[in-house]
Structure 1
Amino acid sequence: MNRVVHPIEEESYRRMRARLDTTHLPPLSRAVVERVVHSAADLGYADDLVLDEGELARAHTALHSGAPVVADVEMVAAGITRHPTVCRLRDAVAAAGLTRSAHAVRLAYEQVGPGALWVIGNAPTALEELLTLDAAPALVIGLPVGFVGAVESKAALRASGLPAVSNVSEKGGSAVASAALNALLYHPVPRSEETS
């Protein structure tokens, strides 16, 4: 995806890279780490994120091949640039032991089916609900924030064996979750993928 980068963003990345060496990371991992760190101005994410280059490569291919993107909340959806997203939170209701966020995940899954990229930056209960479904995701960006359930839901994501980007601390949120997805959106598509 061709994108014009504003000089302020270029300078911000230059300053970040002067303080954080990511050159040892493979390309997609580096892109995700740098964009997440940049979105939060928090260098600690470099040691907090858990990701796998092979999973990112498969997700990158799926994303650029048209796989749907699902966001848990409108703030995550708003942060994902130049790509349509599905967010069903407005249609969801809290009932029968489900939070609105968990119900929204069910509604979104009914809409998109398996193979989507899921971007969860707000609600641990959304991530917990996703793990109960047979969603066969291309990737789960599981970065919910908070002191109740966030760490546990991210640990459950990592234990599930699903392809994922997560972190080990309570940190997270809409901005960092959408930044992780945007890193995959902005990363160039190899020529062999463009022609296939």
Structure 2
Amino acid sequence: MRARLDTSHLPPLTRAVVERVVHSAADLEYASDLVLDEGELAKAHSALHAGAPVVVDVRMVAAGITRRETVCRLRDAKSGPGLTRSAHAIRLAYEEVGPGALWVIGNAPTALEELLTLDASPALVIGLPVGFVGAVESKAALRESGLPAVSNVSEKGGSAVASAALNALLYHPTSSPSSPSSPSSPSSSEALSPSPSPSLSEEKS
């Protein structure tokens, strides 16, 4: 992968997330599609390794997260007027874990939309739902919310890339925490372009 994508200029956690997401999807376009901030990732990394809960929207996301138990309440959720099962599952999960969790949403835009209505005070929201209906809009709303987040601009996303982003933080060493982002540290999709030449190069409801 590094023969086709130069990530050497990225700060450590940003680089880890970008590389895992690109690798999981075999899609270099994620390098310019992802939006993330090194300082937010550093705080989320600390929270994760201090034992903060991890909540997922669907079991497929949970299946991709290794070495950590997750909370998924989709099986307990019910749909109703103006409420999807995915959204209800997010409500149930918040009632269980409270504030300070890491939320990993890779399937249903309505799950992400519901999370944004709660006073969840998340350590991080990995918001990468996929699809042509609501995905772009929900991810834009996440970025506008000011919450610490990993998102992307396009319709792309899915369970595999969402779990890959969490795994990048889970497997990153705790002995060498990264520094908060600075003006010289890339923190948005503009900094994550593929190299022009090799150099280092479930249920929706």
Fold shared by both chains (TM-score > 0.5): yes
1:44 paired with 2:29, answer yes
State the AA in 1 paired with 2:137: E
Alpha-carbon distance in structure 2 between the residues aligned to 1:191 and 1:119: 24
1:111 to 96, 102, 108: 96
2:55 aligns with: 70
**Runs in 1 of length 4+ with deviation above 6 angstroms?**
none
Please show how residues 1-196 of structure 1 align to structure 2 within 5 Å: 16-190=1-175
- Structure 1: where are the runs of 5+ without partners? 1-15
Could you tell me which amino acid in structure 2 is paired with residue 57 of structure 1? Answer: A
Shift of 1:191: 6.2
Looking at both structures, which has the greater relative contact order when contacts are Cα pairs under 8 Å and sequence separation is at least 6?
A: 2
* CA-atom RMSD in angstroms: 0.8
Task: Please identify, of 90-99 and 59-68, the stretch whose mean Cα deviation from structure 2 is larger.
Answer: 90-99
Unpaired segments ≥5 residues, structure 2: 178-205
In 2, the alpha carbon distance for the partners of 1:111 and 1:97 equals: 22
Q: Look up the equivalent residue of 2:41 and give its one-letter code.
A: L
Per-residue deviation, 1:190 = 1.8
Partners of 2:176 and 2:166 in 1: how far apart? Answer: 21
Q: Report the Cα offset of residue 96 of structure 1.
A: 2.6
Deviation at 1:145, TM superposition (A): 0.1
Letter matched to residue 20 of structure 1: L
Residue of structure 2 in register with 1:13 after alignment: none
How many residue pairs end up in the alignment? 177
Query: What is the TM-score normalised by the length of structure 2?
Result: 0.85
**Percent identity of the aligned residues?**
87
